[in-house]
Structure 1
């Protein structure tokens, strides 16, 4: 997972990053609420970890801003010394998914993060995923539209699955390159744009089928559910058959 950490104490941040890195996660650390918000609202993270008391604002205010401005419900956990019942209630009311007291215990932190990831994507363990008229067979690595098998490459399948599993979420080109192609972020390539353009045609991602891929200028793409187009017969046609 790509994780954003809000922690103003350098040693604490290093310790948490080391715990996460040891389990294969990528963690970016931020010492202020403003720098954290700038990153989370403009990049693609899978989960956020928040401290309560930071120099420029409270973690509660940061979370409220994330919930107001981010276009998907990113899993959020508080990791803080504020652990009274009233603090926990306050954090949960602000939109936190979990609450953990400092100091962080490695095994418990990883277990909590894994549990949050499973809850945020409950269909990840199913063999057959259904998204409107699309059926994704995880075993056969195939996709059907209205029952018809689509002709897709392995990479097309991986990209389509990732888009559907992150429906409504802004996905930057960097994240798509990392997650689907396993390519480092600093490589300049048009691979993502080419594949997205091809998927739009091959999958029929348009209002008729209930989904579209929206291009977010200079940032990336977002798969959105839309109302299928309904064609209404002209009044003259209706009366002629009355």
Structure 2
């Protein structure tokens, strides 16, 4: 019996949809919390263009790296500093040849106000704090906290302010403490400050007061798939670059 044109069209549609489903893939991305806003935008556009599903887990780079070391099923890691990526590479947990530097950033002193006066970062910082707390990500493990502590030590201020530091699990939690007024001041990335309307930047730490802020990205071992290659190509492309730059990042990936 001859098939009708309608039946042929329906069969073709099923074949096409089946092929699309077969070529679609899920990519699990572990990424630093400071990338929240940019990756939310990238997730939406990448999924729309490719049909792949991005599953993004955001936290402090240290917490994510430890989860990967413990066997968490991530495909991609984007860290807020090189040290945690170095540790995974030393453990043999990165797919060789896939690591690259994606972004840079800056750290800033923020205040709970939309119009806080600008101030230099110097000996008057303890007086600026008064009895208040200085919100920071964990200073010995989370990159934003590590950079902030290094800058304060470089400027000779750490010992004076350390008793007033309120440490949080990640930089977005430190940002939230200042945004809600629980801490009058905090140290976060410039991109975090730009994403929150209820804080203002009081000062920017000199770039030479802390190690370079670099965000490396890499595939994890045995996760080398065409979908991940597409995602990395997208991260290097014009649309992702624009999304990162809208949040204040400097894109260094070529």
Normalising by structure 2, report the TM-score. Answer: 0.23
Normalising by structure 1, report the TM-score. Answer: 0.24
Greater relative contact order (CA < 8 Å, ≥ 6 in sequence): 2
